[in-house]
Structure 1
Amino acid sequence: MTDPVLLTDQRGAVRILTLNRPAARNALSSALIEALRAGLAAADADDDVNVVILTGADPAFCAGLDLQELGDSGGNLSLVSDEGLPVGHPWTPISKPIIGAVNGAAITGGLELALACDFIIASERARFADTHARVGVLPGWGLTQRLPAAVGPGFARRMSLTGDFVNADQALRAGLVTQVVAHEELLDTAVRVAETVAGNDQPGVRTLLASYRKAAGHVVDPALEVEHETSVKWMRSFSPDRVAERRSAVIERGKVQNS
């Protein structure tokens, strides 16, 4: 019997969702993407859940799209621009806060998952990289808007054009994460913060969060449309074979930089 690709744990009013493909560094297979979307929708619909924490099974948070599946069939890439989702979102937005608890490497699509959270708490082992340019694909989950919004346009462009890793301390200084803690304290810290949020007036929390998102939408939504249009045009000439050819080199280069 195979292990579930997504683990669910409930601590009071806090729902913890854990990406669970550790041997593949929690790379996003079609099954994991679909399970994550279903898990978040279920949390949003559950009256016993006030806050969601998204994390990964060690040693990584998420290595992005599964390059083997991407190179073989591209099936997981087809889910990036799922017509059932708003443009530029990895999942249907939910009404409740999502805290990213980044425990290790968050790469490319994994970085986009972290950026889609309302804020991020990082382990000292966290590493962040955008390797879209190395792989030869373009972002479709809002990275070109959310990353510069978090760290500034220059830092964001440097990350995207080089593909180099940013460590936890650099991410904190840049504003990508709100806190860095010892690795073994990450989940407990995230739960304590989530419990603080969950202890507040929930209609007020959700209305305030919706207001933040609506206010940002005046800038965010047009930028997401530009990213989507660019990605769609790129996909017309995209070949999974090109990813398969680059896969070993991309993985090896990442190992060297992340060691």
Structure 2
Amino acid sequence: MSDQILRIAQHDRVRVLTLNRPEARNALSAALIRDLRAALAAADADDTVDVVILTGADPAFCAGLDLRELGGDGGNLDAVDDDVPAGHPWRPLSKPLIGAVGGAAITGGLELALACDFLIASERARFADTHARVGVLPGWGLTARLPAAVGPGFARRMSLSGNFVDAEQALRVGLVTEVVPHERLLPVALDVAAAVAGNDQPGVRTLLRSYRDAESHLLDPALSVEQATSRAWMADFRPSTVAERRAAVIDRGRTQNA
């Protein structure tokens, strides 16, 4: 892994992946995206792993794509990866993936959280979709998964306003399944993961696949619409616009009350 920007730990049959760029609020650089995808694929192929937990080093879960890279001359952080289906941040796993959110999950970071099978949050968790503030469009399935989680009206409110949602409100609208004291986040997530790992694993994976297959008749067409919209938007995209708006977005995130 690149300079330990992704920490990997094993707890019995549970693999814990920790985004580890705390100085950048775990923003997704190209290297971190690459390492995360590789680590998830490795966990899915490892017979000693039954459940995966994704979390972030304090103080954030993930602040989204690294705007310093996105706003620079290079532009596109999410280079085409033939192994990753459109509308997904990584190749979907056959095993359960639990998100443990202990801080801000913003824009691309929110998309990572939504791609988990379910979320557990600490009292410090906050969620926001700031695509409209930065001037980019989602490409990892937000416009399909967010309304599925919280309902279409609340999803549109989040995306069009860019405002933050705190942990308790996230629990009320169904974005997370539980809110726990911050210091208990990983222990609680590990307890839930251990309960899953203690079940019949062929049954767990078949049931998980059944859930996903049952959702696919709604999710897949929505992902196709998002992908087409994002590609059309990128035809006129200017990275300099992102750079111009970066400071304002960061300042708003620091000062806004959830």
Fold agreement, TM-score > 0.5: yes
Indicate if the aligned counterparts of 2:22 and 2:60 stay in contact, CA closer than 8 A: yes
SS at match of 1:61: strand
SS at match of 1:101: strand
Q: Are 2:16 and 1:13 equivalent residues in the alignment?
A: no
SS at match of 1:92: coil
* AA aligned opposite 2:157: R
| Deviation of the 1:48 alpha carbon | 0.2
Q: Which moved more, 1:84-93 or 1:187-196?
A: 84-93
Runs of 4+ in 1 over 2 A off after TM superposition: 73-79, 81-84
| TM-score normalised per structure 2 | 0.97
Deviation per CA, 1:53-96: give whole Å up to 9, x if none. 000000000000000000013455333x5443111000000100
* AA aligned opposite 2:112: L
User: Which residue number corresponds to residue 58 of structure 1?
Assistant: 58
Percent of residue pairs bearing the same amino acid type: 74
User: Which residue number corresponds to residue 95 of structure 1?
Assistant: 94
Q: Which moved more, 1:244-253 or 1:6-15?
A: 244-253
SS at match of 1:77: coil
User: Which residue number corresponds to residue 4 of structure 1?
Assistant: 4
User: Which residue number corresponds to residue 227 of structure 2?
Assistant: 228
Deviation per CA, 1:79-133: give whole Å up to 9, x if none. 3x54431110000001000000001000000000000000000000000000000
Indicate if the aligned counterparts of 1:65 and 1:76 stay in contact, CA closer than 8 A: no
The verdict on how the C-alpha distance between 1:7 and 1:76 changes in structure 2, with shifts beyond 3 A counting, is farther
The verdict on how the C-alpha distance between 1:74 and 1:166 changes in structure 2, with shifts beyond 3 A counting, is farther
| Deviation of the 1:254 alpha carbon | 1.1
| TM-score normalised per structure 1 | 0.97
* Correspondence 1:1-259 to 2 at 5 A: 3-79=3-79, 82-257=81-256
SS at match of 2:60: coil
SS at match of 1:18: strand
* Number of residue pairs aligned between Structure 1 and Structure 2: 257
Structure 1 vs Structure 2 CA RMSD: 1.2
CA distance in 1 between partners of 2:72 and 2:178 (Å): 38
* AA aligned opposite 1:252: D
Indicate if the aligned counterparts of 2:29 and 2:77 stay in contact, CA closer than 8 A: no
In the alignment, structure 2 segments of 5+ residues that lack a partner are none
Deviation per CA, 1:157-211: give whole Å up to 9, x if none. 0000000000000000000000000000000000000000000000000000011
CA distance in 2 between partners of 1:252 and 1:94 (Å): 36
CA distance in 2 between partners of 1:112 and 1:129 (Å): 10
The verdict on how the C-alpha distance between 1:15 and 1:76 changes in structure 2, with shifts beyond 3 A counting, is farther
